[in-house]
Chain A
Amino acid sequence: MLDIARTLVWRDLLLALRRRSDIATALLFFIIVASLFPLGVGAEPNLLRAIAPGVIWVAALLSSMLSLGRLFAGDYADGTLEQLMLGAAPLGVVVAAKSFAHWVVSGLPLVLIAPVIALQYDVAAPLYGVLALSLLLGTPVLSIIGAIGAALTLGLRGGGVLLSLLVLPLYVPVLILGAGAVDMAAAGLSPAGQLELLAAMLIMAAAFAPWAVAAALRISAE
């Protein structure tokens, strides 16, 4: 079963590597959205420092949502999804592996680039670590929860807009905790509470969401 999960992660990463433009668009979207704010609100350092965590996190939400539509759509269109459902591993494991691959492609680059974005907002250097850590814990939750929406809207016309309406409200707790952790650290307090809650959400989502996604996929594929 682990072999199958590993094969699937490897396959999805290989596919992403053959289509590098998909990775680049999500990442560039993140960079551009996060860079528009300093241009829009002006170069007032105190204001920029105050809005930085929220803006970076919102940009991360939007960018991660941008690539959700592709999570199952390709496999659905070419019949691979049917074969995965008939595969030797439970569908929940398949979903978990695909969500992980999605995070490596769309979430991990954001974690790595976020400190560079933070530079534009004159965020204090000690906060880079907290920001990256909050994204490291939070973006996988976005991929896993987003997979539920992607599965439910699979094969629907205009599914992209519906997907964002379904998924964005579910992202709210992650946004509050993620941006909150950085705010706490900026205020000189310990961000441990928020980060621990984010970690707890990650564990809960990783344990239960794949089975919900599997059920949704079975309904969509019928």
Chain B
Amino acid sequence: MLEAGELECERGGRTLFRGVSFTLAGGELLRIAGPNGSGKTSLLRILCGLLTPSRGEVRWRGASVRRLAEEYSRQLVYIGHASALKDDLTPYENLDIAGRLVGVPASTEALGSALAALAVPDLPVRKLSQGQRRRAALARLLMSQRLPLWLLDEPFAALDTAAAAYAEGLIARHLETGGSVVYTTHQAAAIDSRARVIDLAAH
């Protein structure tokens, strides 16, 4: 489904990586590894089309993601470093709006149960802890189970063990239903054993 051909990324005059190629089929899990500053986040941003690679191309079902534009971004969910939550809104409002903006509005019950499953309190995001914000951001995964491609930047950062296990369960379930997941992580996670690894230190 997702194909990366000879990707090269240059940031601030420095080549972060070159010659990164892989194909990702449905049901496959890919982990991007590498030390700090090796370009893991840049690679994820290239994969979702936010960043243009200095060389190479990302293709989705055979077509370049540059050309597909919204056609492509409608198929994926990207969870970046920043939580993409508005401080003045509650997690419920945030999720509701986020769902409508990507064109997959969620029902009130679905939203409520997603937030309850992750134990996110119904307070303005400003009053939540770092871990609770991360949980609220991950609730977007629960809402986007039908989207075939998940791109997750450090999904387990700031989560406690129970929440991390829950997130891993979500990923596993997504893989079983034929979805693909690309993620980066520093902490060892149980799901790592199922993943193919691209080590950016070697590129």
Q: Please give the residue numbers on chain A whose beta carbons come within 8 Å of chain B beta carbons, in ascending order.
A: 3-4, 7-8, 11, 14-15, 18-19, 74, 77-80, 82-90, 221-222
| Per-residue contact bits, chain B 40-57, to A (CB 8 Å; 1 contact, 0 not) | 000000001111100000
Complex CA gap A84/B48 in Å reads 13
Q: Does B100 contact A (CB under 8 A)?
A: yes
Contact A222 B80 (CB under 8 A): no
Q: Does B190 contact A (CB under 8 A)?
A: no
- Chain A nearest CB: distance from B76 CB in Å? 7
CB contact under 8 A between A79 and B83, given known A4-B100, A86-B49: yes
Residues of A within 8 A of B88 (CB): 15, 18-19
Complex CA gap A201/B83 in Å reads 38
Residues of B within 8 A of A86 (CB): 48-50, 73, 76, 78, 102
Contact A11 B50 (CB under 8 A): no
**Contact size range, B:** 20 to 34
User: Taking CB as reference atom, which chain B residue is nearest A85?
Assistant: B50
Residue of B51, B52, B74, B86 with most chain A CB atoms under a 10 A cut-off: B86
Query: Lowest 4 CB-CB distances: which A-B pairs, in order?
Result: A79-B82, A88-B103, A79-B84, A18-B88
Contact A87 B89 (CB under 8 A): no
List, sorted by A's number, 20 A–B pairs whose CB atoms are closer than 8 Å.
A11-B86, A11-B97, A14-B89, A18-B88, A18-B89, A78-B83, A78-B85, A78-B87, A79-B80, A79-B81, A83-B78, A84-B101, A86-B50, A86-B73, A86-B76, A86-B102, A87-B101, A87-B102, A87-B103, A90-B69
Q: Does B164 contact A (CB under 8 A)?
A: no
Contact A222 B50 (CB under 8 A): yes
Task: List residues 19-50 of chain B with CB under 8 A from any CB of chain A.
Answer: 48-50
Residues of B within 8 A of A18 (CB): 88-89
List 15 other contacts, CB 8 Å, given A83-B101, A85-B73, A86-B76.
A7-B101, A11-B97, A15-B89, A18-B88, A74-B86, A78-B84, A78-B86, A79-B83, A80-B86, A82-B50, A82-B78, A83-B102, A86-B49, A88-B102, A88-B103
Residues of A within 8 A of B69 (CB): 90
Residues of B within 8 A of A83 (CB): 78, 84, 98, 101-102
Complex CA gap A174/B109 in Å reads 49
Q: Does B70 contact A (CB under 8 A)?
A: yes
Complex CA gap A78/B51 in Å reads 18
Complex CA gap A11/B83 in Å reads 17
Complex CA gap A85/B86 in Å reads 16
User: Taking CB as reference atom, which chain B residue is nearest A88?
Assistant: B103
Task: List residues 61-113 of chain B with CB under 8 A from any CB of chain A.
Answer: 69-70, 73-74, 76, 78, 80-89, 93, 97-98, 100-103
- Chain A nearest CB: distance from B145 CB in Å? 17
